[in-house]
Amino acid sequence: MAQDKSSRKEKGFLFNVPFEGDPGKELEVMAYAFDRRGRLLTSSRFNAAKGQVVLNLDDQEARHARLFFGPPPQEGGKSEKITLKTMARLEAHEALWQYDPKQRQYELLPIPDLHWRWWIWCRCRVRGQVVRPVEIHGATQNMPVCHARVHICEVDRIPRIIVTLPDRDIWRLRDELIPLLERPPFRDPRPIPDPPPYFRFDPGVIDPSPEKIAAMHHFAAPLEKVALNPQPLPPKEMRLTAVSTSTNLAASALNQLPLVTRANLTSNSLPIVRQALIDNVALILPYLCLLDWFWTIIRCDEVAVVVTDEHGRFDTNIWYLCFGDHPDLYFWVEYAIGGVWTTVYHPPVRCNTYWNYACGSEVTIRITDPRVPWCDPTPRVPGNHLAILGIGENIGFEQIEGPLAGAQRGLTISGGGTIAGSPFGGVLEPRVYFGEDLIGNGITHYRWSYRKVADSGNTAVSDTWHAMDRQVVRHYAYVAPDGHLKFKPYTLGPDTDPALTVTGLNLFQIQPEDPPTGSWTPQVSAHENTASAHFETHLLAGGDAFQGAGKYEMKLELFNNAGVRIPFQDGAITNVQPVVAVGSAPFGTSEVDTDPAPAANLIVESGKVVAFRLIVHVDNIPCEAQMHPVKIGLNEANPCGFLNYATTADLVTISFKARHEHDFATFGFNINRGSVGSVESVSGQVGSSIGGYSEVDGEYGRNVTAAYLLRALTPDGDSCVRAAFAETLSVDAMATNGWDRLSYLDRDGSPLAFALAPVSDLGA
């Protein structure tokens, strides 16, 4: 029967763990127990000074358990699954013991100091920048890559790999290295995707003495001459290139070695060859990158994942075992392409590892993948500019009737998917460009206000200013800790700073140059991210569209961070340049020019320009549509839909209602006959007679003969004696919000059907 956890803990095994030498009182050690399949059974932390540890194993587990002692996981490091490979990487010591079912306490042989000296963690700061080489005006510049995900991996130490290589691979390694060592110094011939590191050797520094070998293992200084310093460069074709033609450097690296080292490498003794390879890792390491088979056994463990900032930089800390050399680091990079994290830099480990990385030094990773954009900051446009572009995307400033238009002022001239003379309605979103120097010059906020200046009949009215107070946001992109790309709203206003809202000013921030993190993303919402305000005209007069209709003055003012209004131009300190867009929207891909704002659009108080203003005509009244029965004289169609005529000269009366309170609508009326198509149609703007139809207060009517409706519709066709007809009517509002025509104000008449037949059919 399986034991529960409580009984398992009661049957733990006590191990006395002595140490060779003096590890000190502070050394923390972890005991690990694995089963014979390499699965971790349990682990326990203890202090070397105490020299005892209890492992909670049951008898079945203990029977075949393998015991290892090593350092505990590094604090704050990347968590990983503990395996037997982990034990090798941590320089753990495997203790020999024999399970005895009668024994609960065991004395182990001392842990050699060769092992425990490795078990102290050191912090290593890893810094760098991800860039993309870009040719600008004939010169290559390293442009930073923002929001890239950099994976930092630690590569297995080569000496340990050589220790564990099978005998046949030692002979193979030696036999393939010697011909390479006999060549002159070279550049890496492999076609590597990004960095072909340059290897430059000075055989004069190769010395097999322990002191020199130890110094070699700290690559930071000596290996500037003998090891690689990979910097990503464009791919190169395979070739061997001599670094120098001087007699000294042209000599082979092997011939420059002391005699004893050459003898050891060419020995027939396997232990001597193996040790010679280990002792001369600094010499052979660059050549190892040419041996594909050797790198299939190299493991690269991920120790950190970081995201580059707005300048393409990354900076983090990792941990490594202090004794011995610094960590050997390899980097690969992902970038979010189409919302999916995609590998964009992953060169071979063998020739792109930063051996014995000098902690704190900066690594430069060059990405050549054309799908990866660089952080190209938008060029600044200096000046206190203020540009009013228009309303929404489709109505530019010049498409709104100005003061010379009289009663038409505030209506559209053209565009916006509407016809000339259209009113505004719904939510109006004025588009404004705020110059980049405004904030730096103390102009930090703005406010849009409105007041009614005339009713729908163009009679002047008195009104007070009302501040627009609907929330305005901008979205910005950032990468969350879980690696997902997200878009977060940033509220421009109303600003909730008590210094600004204490008097109910309803001020809005001018959009900062940079968001809290990441980058601005206007693509998220074209409406929300381009609107400087939301004028909710459909809510005017409590939502009464008839009372709310009329002309409204919109006013734009500027403020400082204390809520004090700042004049546009005071003749002394401030000099804001209000301009307006020239041309018709949508502006699309064309260049947009600007002109100084007309004097009629500027509000002047005490000789100072204090605001920009714009008049818009608002009308949110819905259309009216109604179909009337077709008649011959006073007779309407019978309940079955038939209307009988005596002769084809009889007059048929057609009528319908197509109306808008202020004639801001168009209509389309049509009569279809059978399956042939239209036999009668009329369309135009409501409010006037058109196409033979008389109009009185939206009521349209016309008399046609029965013969007209029954006529042949094609040159080769025949006229009808009797026929079925269908009437349709649509009345479409002209009002626009600057983006679209307000189709929700449209109305359609209920379709009617009728049939014409001779009176003689009544007696049939």
Q: What is the pLDDT of residues 348-376, one digit of tens each?
A: 887 788 888 888 889 999 998 988 888 86
pLDDT band (50, 70, 90) for residue 590: confident
CB-hemisphere CA count at 13 Å for 148? Answer: 32
pLDDT band (50, 70, 90) for residue 139: low
φ/ψ bin of 324: left (φ > 0), alpha (ψ from -120 to 50), beta (otherwise): left
What does the CA dihedral 657, 659, 661, 665 come to, rounded to 10 degrees?
170
Neighbours of 636 (CB within 10 A): 14
Query: Which residues make Cβ contacts (< 8 Å) with residue 595, sequence separation at least 6?
Result: 579, 580, 582
Instruction: Give the pLDDT mean for 143-150.
Output: 91
How many whole angstroms separate alpha carbon 673 and alpha carbon 652? Answer: 15
Using the predicted structure, report yes or no on whether residue 300 has a pLDDT greater than 50: yes
Token code pair at residue 100: 């005895």
How many whole angstroms separate alpha carbon 658 and alpha carbon 661? Answer: 10
Among the ranges given (32-41, 323-332, 377-386), the one the predictor scored with the smallest mean pLDDT: 377-386
Longest Cα–Cα distance in the chain: 131
Neighbours of 397 (CB within 10 A): 25
Instruction: Give the pLDDT mean for 215-239.
Output: 34
Q: 761 and 449 in contact (C-beta within 8 Å)?
A: no
Query: Which residues make Cβ contacts (< 8 Å) with residue 442, sequence separation at least 6?
Result: 560, 561, 566
pLDDT band (50, 70, 90) for residue 481: confident
Which of 386, 415, 419, 384 lies closest to 398 in space, CA to CA? 415
Type of residue numbered 168: R
Burial category of 214 from C-beta neighbours within 10 Å (exposed 0-12, middle 13-18, buried 19 and up):
exposed
**What percent of the chain is modeled with pLDDT above 90?**
44
Ordered DSSP codes for 47-84? ETTT-EEEE---HHHHHT-EEEEEPPPPTTPPP----H
pLDDT tens, 182-208?
665 444 443 333 433 333 333 333 333
Instruction: Give the pLDDT mean for 147-166.
Output: 79
pLDDT value at residue 267: 78
Query: Which residues make Cβ contacts (< 8 Å) with residue 736, sequence separation at least 6?
Result: 392, 394, 395, 412, 416, 417, 418, 422, 423, 424, 425, 742
How many whole angstroms separate alpha carbon 470 and alpha carbon 427? Answer: 10
Burial category of 468 from C-beta neighbours within 10 Å (exposed 0-12, middle 13-18, buried 19 and up):
buried
pLDDT value at residue 187: 47
Query: Which residues make Cβ contacts (< 8 Å) with residue 510, sequence separation at least 6?
Result: 434, 438, 439, 443, 444, 445, 446, 492
Pick the more confident residue, 310 or 381: 310
pLDDT band (50, 70, 90) for residue 302: confident
- Number of helices (H), then strands (E), in the chain: 16, 44
How many whole angstroms separate alpha carbon 723 and alpha carbon 680? Answer: 14
pLDDT value at residue 253: 59
pLDDT value at residue 15: 94
How many whole angstroms separate alpha carbon 582 and alpha carbon 598? Answer: 12
pLDDT value at residue 254: 61
How many whole angstroms separate alpha carbon 705 and alpha carbon 650? Answer: 5
**Beta partners for 424?**
618, 736
Residue with tokens 């179909």: 627
Using the predicted structure, report yes or no on whether residue 66 has a pLDDT greater than 50: yes
* pTM, full prediction: 0.54
pLDDT band (50, 70, 90) for residue 210: very low
Q: 684 and 675 in contact (C-beta within 8 Å)?
A: no
CB-hemisphere CA count at 13 Å for 468? Answer: 29
How many whole angstroms separate alpha carbon 578 and alpha carbon 251? Answer: 74
Residues in the chain: 764
Burial category of 248 from C-beta neighbours within 10 Å (exposed 0-12, middle 13-18, buried 19 and up):
exposed
What does the CA dihedral 688, 689, 695, 697 come to, rounded to 10 degrees?
0
| Distances, alpha carbon 455 to alpha carbons 123, 404, 621, 636, in Å | 74, 18, 14, 42
Using the predicted structure, report yes or no on whether residue 470 has a pLDDT greater than 50: yes
Token code pair at residue 171: 């002979």
Instruction: Give the pLDDT mean for 576-595.
Output: 89
How many whole angstroms separate alpha carbon 530 and alpha carbon 431? Answer: 6
Q: 537 and 553 in contact (C-beta within 8 Å)?
A: no
Three-class secondary structure of residue 752 per DSSP: strand
φ/ψ bin of 636: left (φ > 0), alpha (ψ from -120 to 50), beta (otherwise): beta
pLDDT value at residue 257: 67
**Beta partners for 580?**
388, 595
Domains and CATH numbers, the chain: 5-119 (2.60.40), 122-155+300-366 (2.60.40), 158-295 (no CATH), 385-618 (no CATH), 624-763 (2.60.40)
How many whole angstroms separate alpha carbon 165 and alpha carbon 275? Answer: 12
| Element of type H or E holding 164 | helix 158-164
pLDDT value at residue 191: 37
pLDDT value at residue 7: 41
Q: 416 and 728 in contact (C-beta within 8 Å)?
A: no
How many whole angstroms separate alpha carbon 506 and alpha carbon 668? Answer: 45
Using the predicted structure, report yes or no on whether residue 166 has a pLDDT greater than 90: no
Residue with tokens 């400087």: 532
Q: 633 and 647 in contact (C-beta within 8 Å)?
A: no
Pick the more confident residue, 218 or 581: 581
pLDDT value at residue 709: 95
Type of residue numbered 91: E
Token code pair at residue 343: 């590998």
User: Strands across the sheet with 13-16, in order?
Assistant: 52-55, 13-16, 105-107
Q: 705 and 649 in contact (C-beta within 8 Å)?
A: yes
Instruction: Give the pLDDT mean for 260-273.
Output: 77
Intra-chain end-to-end CA distance of the chain, in Å: 100
Q: 448 and 510 in contact (C-beta within 8 Å)?
A: no
How many whole angstroms separate alpha carbon 328 and alpha carbon 219? Answer: 10
Instruction: Give the pLDDT mean for 526-543.
Output: 93
pLDDT value at residue 31: 93
How many whole angstroms separate alpha carbon 348 and alpha carbon 177? Answer: 19
Range 47-54 contact pairs with CB under 8 angstroms and sequence separation of 24 or more? 48/19, 48/23, 48/24, 48/116, 49/23, 49/24, 49/25, 51/16, 51/17, 51/18, 51/19, 52/14, 52/15, 52/16, 52/17, 53/14, 53/15, 53/17, 53/29, 54/12, 54/13, 54/14, 54/15
Pick the more confident residue, 286 or 530: 530
CB-hemisphere CA count at 13 Å for 91? Answer: 21
pLDDT band (50, 70, 90) for residue 255: low
Q: 741 and 734 in contact (C-beta within 8 Å)?
A: yes
Using the predicted structure, report yes or no on whether residue 687 has a pLDDT greater than 90: yes
Instruction: Give the pLDDT mean for 77-99.
Output: 80
How many whole angstroms separate alpha carbon 51 and alpha carbon 640? Answer: 106
DSSP state for residue 569 in the 8-state scheme: B
How many whole angstroms separate alpha carbon 143 and alpha carbon 227? Answer: 28
Token code pair at residue 691: 């196409």
**Beta partners for 705?**
651
